[in-house]
Amino acid sequence: MRSDKEKCMYCGACVGSCPKNAIYLEETRVVFDEERCVKCRICVRVCPVGAISE
């Protein structure tokens, strides 16, 4: 999974939605822990600006 830095508002919706705690915010970017991520795509659905893609 990846986040588009131009679209992302760093709202944290994706972080709170991840059932595997595979997403966290760093100063100016969203970080995906590929080892924890199960590609459920919940983060994609909850992102209010469509900034997350596979």
Give per-residue pLDDT as tens, 15-42: 999 999 999 999 888 999 999 999 999 9
Q: pLDDT at residue 8 above 90?
A: yes
- Quick one: pLDDT at residue 49? 96
Q: Which residue has the tokens 């469509």?
A: 50
Please state, in angstroms and rounded to a whole number, the distance separating the CA atoms of residues 12 and 25.
7
- Quick one: pLDDT at residue 39? 96
- Quick one: pLDDT at residue 10? 92
Domains and CATH numbers, the chain: 2-48 (3.30.70.20)
Please state, in angstroms and rounded to a whole number, the distance separating the CA atoms of residues 6 and 49.
10
- Quick one: pLDDT at residue 29? 86
